[in-house]
Amino acid sequence: MPQVSLTVNGKPHSVEVEGRTLLVELLREKLRLTGTHVGCDTSQCGACVVHVDGESVKSCTMLAVQAEGADVTTIEGLASADGTLHPMQEAFREYHALQCGFCTPGMVMSAIDLVMKHPEGLDEKQIREGLEGNLCRCTGYHNIVKAIAAAAEVMHGRRTELAQAAE
Amino acid sequence: MNVVTPFEGIGASVRRKEDLRFLSGRGRYTADIDRPGQAHAYILRSPHPHAAIRGIDATAARAMPGVAAVFTGADMAAGKVGGLPCGWGVKNKDGSPMAEPPHPVLAVDRVRHVGDPVAVVVAATRAQARDAAEAIVVDYAPLPAVATIEEALRPGAPAVHDEVAGNLCFDWHLGDKAVTDAAFAKADRVVTFELVNNRLIPNAMEPRAAIGDYDPSADEHTLYTTSQNPHVIRLLMGAFVLGIPESRLRVVAPDVGGGFGSKIYHYAEEAIVTWAAARLERPVKWVADRTESFVSDAHGRDHVTRAELALDGEGNFLGLRVATRANMGAYLSTFAPSIPTYLYGTLLAGVYRTPAIYVEVKAVFTHTVPVDAYRGAGRPEATYLLERLVDVAAAETGIDRIALRRRNLVSQFPHQTPVALEYDSGNHAATLEAALRAADWDGFESRRAEAKARGKLRGIGVSTYLEACGLAPSHLAGQLGARAGLYEVGTIRFHPTGSVTVLTGSHSHGQGHETTFAQLVADRFGLPVSQVEVVHGDTGKIPFGMGTYGSRSLAVGGNAMAMAMDKIVAKGRRIAAHLLEAAVEDVEFEGGKFRVAGTDREKTIGEIAMAAYVPHNYPLAEIEPGLEETAFYDPKNFTYPGGCHVCEVEIDPETGHVQVVNFTAADDFGRVINPMVVEGQVHGGVAQGVGQALLEACVYDADGQLLTGSIMDYNLPRAEDLPSLSLSHHDTPCLTNPLGVKGCGEAGAIGSPPAVINAVVDALRERGVRHVEMPATPARIWGIIHGGGPKGAPAIAAA
Amino acid sequence: MYDFAYHKPGSIADAVKILTDDPEARPISGGQTLLPALKHRLAHPTALVDLSGIAELRGIQRDGDRLVIGAMTKHYEIQTSDVVKTAIPALAKMAGNLGDTQVRNRGTMGGSLSNNDPAADYPAAAMALNATFRTDRRSIPADEFFQGMFATALEPGELLVAIEFPIPTKAGYAKMRNPASRYVMAGVFVAKLADGSVRVAVNGAGPGVFRQEEMEAALAKSWSADAIAGIRQDPDGLNGDIHGSAEYRAHLVGVMAKRALAEAG
């Protein structure tokens, strides 16, 4: 069986997999990182999004062997070692951008990539278009859009602290 | 330390306690759980809508790598496994019971829909189980199938169940036909209208999953499952399917990734893994693929209706006659019969004073996936019918659509409808006016003109709604056919050092109960929310419960907690009276403190808890130690949330694409615990309603094959399909429950579809359009604009 | 997914050898189409040959009057490439509007073109721009490369290496997406090439990309929306399904052609 060596959330791993093992299966079943979810089998829902070498990918649409040598970040690896949340995680909480939580890890990982790709800033339309690959059935996206806009301000240094949601 | 924290009490938008685990990947959903030594199940399903099974040969499959067992329907029948029960019986017009054909866990001699489970393979890995399933040879003899209501009712149609004549499950009615006919006889005007309520596939983002685990030493079964109501599953599966006493069956519904109704029901897979785990003495795990969800989760809606509204010369509604045919699918899902009857017919008065209503509903079997409650469950169907009908009546009588609504609104409470409900409270005029104002209804024509200059057709639509939530008074539900009580259970457990555990039979799968229920308790006892833990979803921990559906969690579950808190306060007063050396009747309780009236002598709830658990100075002769109370709350009436939605759309006449550009809701949910959470519920409900109106349709072809079998063809709302929403609430407290709460979980999905379609029709009105069926897809709109519509195309696109 | 052997060759020659020796082996580039198909067990390759380790398959270069894009270049690289944005902005824009961000981060132009999904975007660009497909053994003009639904001129074992796009004087693309899958329901790419010729390619609407010759002739005479306003796409042979009939798609071809023209300027 093939062996794949990769770094996940800063830790090196070397794991034996089948050729057909998906990256998400490696993360969930071999490394027990179950924060990354599987919500569909047609590569559309985005619940499985992780970062591979800094870019968001659907881990259900990538073979584990294709991640050889890669640096993978999952939702479990976002917060600082001291437990401080990433601004995007914090914004999702502040803006009530999650309900059942199932799409949330993928949504957060996609949102971070979206913001990082737009240092110039994002308007509501760009955020909505940028979420093309992530489905949420609970929130109607309303608060997700607001959370991403607020997190972007912090991530690009335009604000030092997250703007509070309106009461 | 009982710090009074007013900002965390009732009415505060407390940020959710559960979010930290979800945001850091520490949620624990069923698929995340692995049991030691577990095997994996793969379910082989029928590719045929209807076929006889002449034989199943699993010899090769049993010999495949990793395979522990293959079970068929015959194996389960031999193991004395019963069929899946239906939890609600409906009677025909003549009083006879509905047809209730068996629903085997695994098909035995016949398959009745694409996806009907036929066999299960248990193997060391999921992939091995699936590999082996492909080696099972099923000898099918395909039979003719019926997929639609019309086809199923056609004389001579293929029978879904041989014993059910004409595929008719029941022929039910409600209301006084003679009185209604008399109202029509004196009407100045009758408006007649036919419409379809499109079939939907719920698609909670978490696919269903189940793990069976068996402990032979204790002879104890555990089922982990994606359920909205673990106790109901324990009851149904234990008593009717597997014959396991509830005392030896534990059902755990851990974090659940959305339900929307689809995770209420007892499904075959739950019984399969529980049974197989005991047979094999090894945990068995099953996780659905999304594609599997499409053919195994209960679908929603699917009505065809003809309605007539009688009006007098001034536009007063005199009577309503409704004839609906509802698709049940191939078998009766757990609550299916109640949806197009008691959750639909009873809602046909809506917010209007219509004095006479008669509704008949024929429920039919077809060779399709079973249909049951989906967010709103019957109430969206009723509301869509009414609010489209009122718009059509307005257009045909020449009365302004707002004026027609205002004229007929219920304004006196209590109000008894002709379809069994008594509304206790509401202010429908207030929500109507608030929504119109917030949406700038009066300024719309200038927006329409501006859009026209850009080549877009802009329309505006309004919908009022009322729903019956808080299921349900048990005696009433029992009379109407429910085979269970519909109370809820809450336990408040004070710990010696003052923290609180709340046990609730409600289940949270996105609703935020861990926060909002904690707020209820924190508010009553003057505690910080962080000191209150809400536990749910485990029959091993929670005394009992009926679960979460029908916007009942706060209205029923919350009131059970309130009753348990009353008991805590009553006991606390007695303990405090002893400690403060006062008479019990002189001890007041407020803000977490017991105080002797008129003095500053007081004890905090924390001190009382400590005294109750360390009863050194305690009236042991009169009061038991400990501070824990449980209450069962059975509601006195339904609750009646209501409100008004206004939608604005723009249509691209060249492509037919409809974009929702503004959406405004003004709702009355009674007393609100956490406005942030409530608004989130409305956002999500509206998104599903917009989905039904514009995007989503479950389509079968004439032979019963599912054409929308994945998200590639079933259109789920994406972020760019929706605008930001404008919400407000105008709350009148519910008068029939202690908390004054009504429920908010389904409102968005109930009020929005007619608001969207009314807007679409408004945009197309100058082109002579009377109605647009849901979903208003680009191709359908294009077909309407360009006349004729596409030729020979199945349902999503057909004009 | 059925199991398979996995190879990751470092050169085109090695990849071609594996693919030639084992006719049931399949190349995998970004895998954004192939993996979903494999997950549904719609194909059963004995081996996957991962092309991502072959450096010579990647990169974007301006070569005089041509833009050359390596087969393994990702959509996101094309979308954000200043070279592409300058040479053929319509192509960069197309890359930025296909699939979703995650698909664009993994999927490649060569993978998409080799697959020739009738509802994919790039075939319209390649056809309208009269691209040349450079493989490990020859060059294939666009008019010969696309051979109907999921079919191309590539022989078994033949690898697409790069795509050469002549830089047009004008180019524009517009599409209507399938509401559910978000693949192309009907798209039109219009291009005016350096030699003055006009090519119009339609994707999504038919069983494969095709040229709309009536529009080409009209636009060659007059590059304007008016020139094609009266042209009706024949629905005969176009796709019809639950999302839209052939007549609807034919209608969309006219609408998208007009919008593509507006994009092209």
| Mean predicted confidence (pLDDT) in C182-190 | 98
Nearest CB partner across the interface for B205, out of A85, A100, A165:
A100
CB-based contact, B708 to chain C, within 8 Å: yes
Query: B27 CB near a chain A CB, below 8 Å?
Result: yes
pLDDT value of residue B789: 45
Question: Per-residue b/e over B491-501, b at no fewer than 16 CB within 10 Å?
Answer: bbbbbeebbbb
The predicted structure's pLDDT at residue C123 = 98
Residue B128 pLDDT class (50, 70, 90 cuts): very high
Residue C105 to residue A46, Cβ atoms within 8 A: no
Partners of residue C52 in chain A, C-beta under 8 Å: 66
Using the predicted structure, report yes or no on whether residue B640 has a pLDDT greater than 90: yes
Domains located in chain C, CATH noted: 5-166 (3.30.465.10), 170-264 (3.30.390.50)
> Which residues from chain A sit within 8 angstroms of residue C103, using beta carbons?
43, 58, 133
Tens digits of residue pLDDT in B710-749: 999 999 999 999 999 999 999 999 999 999 999 999 999 9
Q: How many CB atoms lie within 10 A of CB B604?
A: 21
Q: For residue B626, how many other CB atoms are within 10 A of its CB?
A: 14
Q: Which residues between 162 and 221 in chain C have a beta carbon less than 8 angstroms from any beta carbon of chain B?
A: 176, 179-181
* Residues of chain A neighbouring C181 (CB-CB closer than 8 A): 44
Q: Tens digits of per-residue pLDDT, B739-777?
A: 999 999 999 999 999 999 999 999 999 999 999 999 999
Q: Is C163 exposed, middle or buried (0-12, 13-18, 19+ CB in 10 A)?
A: buried
Distance of CA B592 to the CA centre of its chain: 36
Percent of chain A beyond pLDDT 90? 97
**A84 inside 8 A of chain B by CB:** no
Is the separation of the CB atoms in B327 and B340 below 8 Å? no
Nearest-Cα residue of chain A relative to residue C48: A19
pLDDT digits (tens, 9 = 90+) for A45-79: 999 999 999 999 999 999 999 999 999 999 999 99
CB atoms within 10 A of CB B26: 15
Which residue, chain included where needed, has tokens 């596409």?
Answer: B790
Domain CATH code at residue B272: 3.90.1170.50
Q: Is the pLDDT of residue B793 over 50?
A: no
Residue B726 located in a structural domain? yes
Is residue B511 within 8 angstroms of chain A, CB to CB? yes
Is residue B628 domain-shared with residue B667, that is, in the same domain? Answer: no
How does DSSP assign C21-62, residue by residue? H-TTEEEESS-TTHHHHHHTT----SEEEEGGG-GGG--EEE
Residue numbers in C near B778 (CB within 8 A): 176, 179, 244, 248
Residues 6+ apart with CB under 8 A from B543: B489, B491, B503, B505, B630
Phi/psi of residue B578, nearest 5 degrees: -65, -50
* Same structural domain, B274 and B360: no
Q: Whole-angstrom Cα distance, residue B459 to residue B776?
A: 14
Structural domains of chain B, count = 3
pLDDT tens column, B519-529: 999 999 999 99
| Single-letter code of the amino acid located at B356 | A
How much is the pLDDT for A78? 97
Q: Is residue B160 part of a domain?
A: no
Separation between Cα atoms, residue B727 and residue B686, nearest integer Å: 11
- Shortest alpha-carbon distance between residue C168 and chain A (Å): 29
Residues from chain A contacting residue C38 (CB–CB below 8 Å): 20
Q: How many percent of chain C have pLDDT more than 70?
A: 100
CB of A40 less than 8 A from some CB of B:
yes
pTM of the model: 0.97
**β-bridge mates for residue C152, sequence order:** C146
**Could you tell me if B285 and B38 are in contact, meaning their C-beta atoms sit under 8 angstroms apart?**
yes
Q: Do B680 and A167 touch (CB under 8 A)?
A: no
Q: Rounded to a whole number, what is the distance in Å from the CA of B720 to chain A's nearest CA? A: 5
The CATH number linked to B537 is 3.30.365.10
- Choosing from B614, B633, B652, the residue where a domain stops is B633
- Helices B778-785 & B747-764, crossing angle to 10 degrees? 30
Nearest Cα neighbor of C248 from B263, B249, B779, B453 is B779
Distance from CA of B421 to the nearest CA of C (A): 40
Ramachandran category for residue B781: left, alpha or beta (phi over 0 → left; psi -120 to 50 → alpha): alpha
Helix or strand holding residue B649 (H, E):
strand B642-651
Enumerate the residues of chain C whose CB falls inside 8 A of the CB of residue A67: none
Q: What tens digit of pLDDT does each residue of C5-59 get?
A: 999 999 999 999 999 999 999 999 999 999 999 999 999 999 999 999 999 999 9
Closest CB from B16, B205, B720 relative to A128:
B720
- B732: which 2 tokens? 């009148």
Say yes or no: B122 and B244 in one domain.
yes
Whether residue A66 and residue C38 make contact (CB cut-off 8 A), yes or no, is no
Residue in chain A lying closest to C97 (CA) = A129
Check whether residue B755 and residue B693 sit in a common domain.
yes
Q: What is the mean pLDDT of residues A97-102?
A: 98
Binning pLDDT at 50, 70 and 90, where does residue B788 land? low
Cα–Cα nearest to A113, from A97, A131, A99, A98 = A131
Probe site for chain A from C77, C102, C121 (most A CB atoms < 10 A): C102
Do the domain assignments include residue B172? no
Kindly state whether residues B374 and B492 are assigned to the same domain. Answer: no
Nearest to C248 among B131, B707, B779 (CB): B779
**Residue B251 and residue B230 in contact, taking contact as beta carbons nearer than 8 Å:** yes
Domain limits at B757? 303-471+637-785
Q: What is the DSSP letter of C12?
A: H
Alpha carbon distance B373, B393 (integer Å)? 29
Question: Could you tell me which residues come within 8 angstroms of residue B585 by beta carbon, excluding any fewer than 6 positions away?
Answer: none
Interface membership of A147 toward B (CB under 8 Å): no
Average pLDDT in the C72-85 region? 98
Q: Which pLDDT does position C207 carry in this prediction?
A: 96
Q: Give all chains having 3 or more CB-to-CB distances under 8 Å with chain C.
A: A, B
pLDDT at position B794: 42
CB neighbours of residue B59 within 10 Å: 10
> CB atoms < 10 A from the CB of B4, how many?
15
CB-CB neighbors (< 8 A) of A110 in chain B: none
Q: Are residues B211 and B75 in the same domain?
A: yes
Nearest to B348 by CA among B312, B316, B384, B377: B384
Alpha helix (H) residue ranges in C46-108: 75-80, 82-87, 89-96, 101-106
How buried is residue B445: exposed, middle or buried, by Cβ count under 10 Å (0-12/13-18/19+)? exposed
Cβ contact C106–A62 (<8 Å): yes
Which whole-number Å values give the CA distances from B387 to B193, B195, B383, B423, B425, in the listed order?
12, 12, 6, 19, 21
* pLDDT tens-digit series, residues B40-53: 999 999 999 999 99
Assess B643–A contact: CB distance below 8 Å, yes or no: no
Helix (H) or strand (E) holding B524: helix B513-525
pLDDT value of residue A166? 80
Residue type, C91: L
The answer to the question of residue B750 being in a domain is: yes
Distance CA A110, CA A135 (A): 11
Please report which confidence band the pLDDT of residue B796 belongs to, taking 50, 70 and 90 as the band edges.
low
Q: Residues near B451 by Cβ (< 8 Å), separated by ≥ 6?
A: B457, B458, B650
- The count of other CB atoms within 10 Å of the CB of residue A99 is 31
Percent of chain B surpassing pLDDT 90: 96
Chain C interface test: which of A52, A63, A135 (most C C-beta within 10 Å): A63
Q: What's the DSSP call for residue B531?
A: G
pLDDT tens-digit series, residues B378-417: 999 999 999 999 999 999 999 999 999 999 999 999 999 9
pLDDT band at B4 (very low <50, low <70, confident <90, very high): very low
Q: Note whether A66 contacts C101, CB cutoff 8 Å.
A: no
The count of C-alpha atoms lying within 13 angstroms of the C-alpha of B419, restricted to the half-sphere facing its C-beta, is 28
**Per-chain mean pLDDT for chain C:** 97
Q: What is the C-alpha separation between A105 and A110, in angstroms, rounded? A: 9
Say if residue B624 is exposed, middle or buried (CB neighbours under 10 Å; 0-12, 13-18, 19+): exposed
| Residue B171 domain flag | no
Which subunits count as partners of chain A given 3+ CB pairs below 8 Å? B, C
Question: Which one, of C105, C93, C104, C85, lies nearest residue C175 by Cα?
Answer: C93
- Across the interface, whether the CB atoms of C243 and B796 are under 8 A apart is answered yes
For chain A, what are the domain ranges?
A: 3-77, 87-155
Neighbours of chain B (3+ CB pairs under 8 A): A, C
Residue B3 has pLDDT above 80, yes or no: no
pLDDT band at B7 (very low <50, low <70, confident <90, very high): confident
Task: Give domain status of residue B195, yes or no.
Answer: no
List of chain B residues whose C-beta atoms are within 8 Å of the C-beta of residue A105: 22, 25
| Burial label, B475 (beta-carbon count in 10 A; 0-12, 13-18, 19+) | exposed
Q: Does C215 score more than 60 pLDDT?
A: yes
Band of pLDDT at residue A1, cut at 50, 70 and 90:
confident
Asked if residue B580 and residue B716 are part of one domain, the reply reads no
**At which of B581, B598, B633 does a domain end?**
B633
CB atoms near residue B597 (< 10 Å) = 11
Same domain membership, residue B402 and residue B349 = yes
Q: Do C36 and A49 touch (CB under 8 A)?
A: no
Phi-psi region of A121 (alpha: psi -120 to 50; beta: other; left: phi over 0): left
The fold of the A3-77 domain, in CATH, is: Ubiquitin-like (UB roll) (3.10.20)
Percentage of chain B modeled with pLDDT above 70: 98
Chain C environment of A132 (Cβ under 8 Å) = 99-101, 182
CATH superfamily of A87-155: [2Fe-2S]-binding domain (1.10.150.120)
Among B134, B699, B783, beta carbon nearest to C242 = B699
Q: Calculate helix-pair angle for B559-580, B513-525, nearest 10 degrees.
A: 30
Tell me how close the Cα of A105 comes to any Cα of chain B, in angstroms.
Answer: 6
* pLDDT of B799 higher than 60: no
Query: Are C1 and B127 an interchain contact pair (Cβ–Cβ within 8 Å)?
Result: yes
Instruction: Look at the block and give the residue holding tokens 């293959």.
Output: B70
C237: left (phi over 0), alpha (psi -120 to 50) or beta: left
**Which chain C residues are Cβ-neighbours of B790 within 8 angstroms?**
240, 244-248
Chain C partners of B708 at a C-beta cutoff of 8 Å?
180, 242
pLDDT value of position B5: 46
- Assess whether pLDDT exceeds 70 at residue C147: yes
Interface check for B29 against chain A (CB to CB < 8 A): the answer is yes
Average pLDDT, chain B: 96
Q: Do A61 and C3 touch (CB under 8 A)?
A: no
CB-CB: which of A2, A41, A66 is closest to C40?
A: A41
Q: How far apart are CA B145 and CA B138, in angstroms?
A: 19
Residue B200 lies in a domain: no
CA dihedral (B565, B567, B571, B577) positive or negative: positive
Query: What secondary structure does DSSP assign to B246-294, as a single string?
Result: GGGEEEE--B----TTTTSS--HHHHHHHHHHHHHTS-EEEE--HHHHH
Question: Shortest CA distance to B160 belongs to which of B328, B303, B297, B341?
Answer: B328
Nearest CA in chain C to B782: C248
For tokens 């969930």, the residue is A28
Q: Band of the pLDDT at B795, cuts 50, 70, 90?
A: very low
Report which of B14, B1, B18, B20 is spatially closest to residue B520, judged by C-alpha positions: B14
**Mean pLDDT across C122-143:** 98
Structure tokens at B76: 């389960």
A25 min Cα distance to partner chain C (Å): 12
Among residues A95, A110, A102, A80, the alpha carbon closest in space to that of A165 is found at: A95
Q: How far apart are CA B683 and CA B668, in angstroms?
A: 15
Helix axes B401-408, B379-397, angle to 10 degrees: 120
Same domain as B452, residue B312: yes
Judge whether B153 lies within some domain: no
Q: Which of B633, B649, B674 is the last residue of a domain?
A: B633
Per-residue pLDDT at C223 exceeds 90 = yes
Q: Which of B459, B525, B169 shows the shortest CA–CA distance to B330? A: B169
